[in-house]
Structure 1
């Protein structure tokens, strides 16, 4: 990949950029669509930037439902028109004794990872407050369905559903506009959750903060478009837009905020 492209992204994002570039090259060479695994919002943004630079290719995202956070991407030549089934995503519902037990996103996520399923092979985990569903890549769905019989101490059973059975997930994200003195990680946490910068730095230092689903140990890390910050015990923040600067040189931003 050209160094001019790398310089616009983080060093740790280079392997992802290479993967997207390889898929773009195959789509052009063989004149056929290329499908990715599930991507997080930051990865979707990077893919969009890269494909847009190529006038001969198009892209489309789908994560199983309209407002999905994690999505598969298809890169394809101009002649192609993707269908929903081309994204190879299946919905599975988790059946459990609702009256006697409680599930949570973290418990379900932990169970999936514990059986050796990489995060890129499944999408969102959604709930309507009682029922739970998971979006799985078709290539792993049979393995997951046969391997998971318990989540924690709760006996469960996974069954495939068609799209007419899709839950209406609870949507707790709020869009907010604010101004920041910088795009440092600790500054976002301090501003959104109304805590001191010292306390925000302590949360990072103690391993309670993730950036795009990976633990982040540096409080001075610069946040970029579509990054998602997860703060244990507080919620999540997504940088959705950078709108310029105020007269006092503060940065205007649009955020998605999920508070616990």
Structure 2
């Protein structure tokens, strides 16, 4: 239980999974390819594996600053390259003149087709082109079953990773101080709203932390947590820098412009 006390209760199942992966690699002496993980899961994974000299842990998400990444846990002596991650880059175009397609539209189409979120990596949309990174084992299913997004006919095809678009996402980094790491307090500081407005956003179910809806204002945030609020965008906690002389917590965060 000493390990679990460093994490949130709702993260215990994932911790159990990581321990299972670790035991698998230790006992079978073979690598384990893990489906896409969000940043908080990646951090937990790294923390648990720690300095185990018998293992190596690698991540790959296609793009340089990919948010979601697949992982490989393997014996220290095994060679791991880009092919080891079993990734496929899919691309499609749509008639930009007649409709607009955004990230939620693409993700929604994939999920509606019965695809699990953990099989899908980052999505990049530029002008009339969509690119999405997926686990290679579902490529055929996706190309066959995802043929429309909104009102547009879509034909996805596999392309080399070398042809990936450059992500246009821009994150602005800022540093601030706050009285605590409570969810309502940090929403107030990061999004420059009143405490009451922050509470209303949480109460209405508009707030997600690491892709999970959180309805508890007292929920405590940690490093690498990704915060998204309907209508107000996304942000992430990048560093907790300790306390100031006035006993406030200094944090660095990034906000998606």
TM-score grouping bracket, smaller chain normalisation: over 0.9
Does 1:149 find its partner at 2:147?
Answer: yes
1:44-81 deviation per Cα after TM superposition (whole angstroms, max 9, x unaligned): 00000011152321111101121100001111111012
* Other-structure match for 2:22: 24
Which runs of 4 or more aligned residues in structure 1 lie more than 4 Å from their structure 2 counterparts after TM superposition? none
TM-score (norm 2): 0.97
Moved more, 183-192 or 39-48: 183-192
The equivalent position to 2:233 in structure 1, one of 232, 235, 246, is 235
Contact kept? 1:52, 1:58, Cα under 8 Å: no
* Other-structure match for 1:195: 193
1:113-132 deviation per Cα after TM superposition (whole angstroms, max 9, x unaligned): 11111110110011234421
The equivalent position to 2:100 in structure 1, one of 99, 102, 116, is 102
Q: SS at the partner of 2:168? A: coil
Q: Give me the CA root mean square deviation.
A: 1.2
* Other-structure match for 2:34: 36
* Other-structure match for 1:15: 13
* Other-structure match for 1:168: 166
* Other-structure match for 1:217: 215
The equivalent position to 1:125 in structure 2, one of 123, 128, 131, is 123
Structure 2: give runs of 5+ residues left out of the alignment. Answer: none
Q: SS at the partner of 1:186? A: helix
Distance in 2, matches of 1:63 and 1:164, equals: 13
Contact kept? 1:176, 1:254, Cα under 8 Å: yes
Distance in 1, matches of 2:74 and 2:206, equals: 39
Distance in 1, matches of 2:190 and 2:49, equals: 33
Q: SS at the partner of 2:156? A: strand
Contact kept? 1:129, 1:170, Cα under 8 Å: no
Contact kept? 1:236, 1:257, Cα under 8 Å: yes
How many residue pairs get aligned? The number is 257
Does 1:45 find its partner at 2:39?
Answer: no
**Residue 100 (structure 1) shift:** 2.0
